[in-house]
Amino acid sequence: MIKIICGGKKNVEWCREACAEYEKRLRKPYDVSWEFVEEEKFLKKLEEWPFSGREFVICCDERGENISSDEFSKRLEIAFLNGREIVILVGGAYGFNDTIREKANFVWSFSKLVFPHMIARLIVCEQIYRASQIAIGGPYHHE
């Protein structure tokens, strides 16, 4: 299971529908659960969160490392093999502070571009699906 925690506005219909298209194809351990937290409470929640080490925490932030879909798939596979729960943090309009980025196991940048958080949520869903297909050698991802 992959837990996605998002700051900002609740999922709007177009985003919910687009993410659902990828989610319905996902199988364990790539299935996802969502948690939405209001922007004002999001950073406070993360600052108080224990980052226990049981989780493999991925923070989506433009200041992070830009990796390929193959590398993302490998990182998820390693986390699963090590029995770690995967938690992906998608920031709201104001992103993350240094403290949160430092606590994360991996800070992931989709590109040098900045995306609205609704589009970032969709990118995360699509990349999780792509990673699952890479892991099983499925036809979705091709080079």
Element (H, E) at 119: helix 117-136
Counting every residue written for the chain, the total comes to: 143
- The backbone region for 109, taken as left when phi is positive above 0, alpha when psi lies in -120 to 50, beta otherwise, is beta
pLDDT at 69: 96
pLDDT at 18: 94
pTM, two decimal places: 0.93
CATH dotted code for 2-136:
3.40.1280.10
pLDDT at 8: 79
- Tokens for 102, please give them: 């430092």
pLDDT at 114: 86
Query: Do the beta carbons of residue 56 and residue 85 sit within 8 Å?
Result: yes
Please report, for the chain, the start and end positions of each structural domain, with discontinuous segments joined by +: 2-136
Q: Which residues contact 55 (CB under 8 A, 6 or more apart)?
A: 84, 85, 86, 87, 105
Element (H, E) at 73: helix 69-81
pLDDT at 127: 97
Query: Do the beta carbons of residue 92 and residue 42 sit within 8 Å?
Result: yes
pLDDT at 43: 85
pLDDT at 53: 81
Q: What is the mean pLDDT of each run of 10 residues along the chain (143 residues)?
A: 87 89 92 90 86 90 94 96 94 84 93 88 96 91 74
- Tokens for 68, please give them: 């390929």
Query: Do the beta carbons of residue 73 and residue 135 sit within 8 Å?
Result: yes
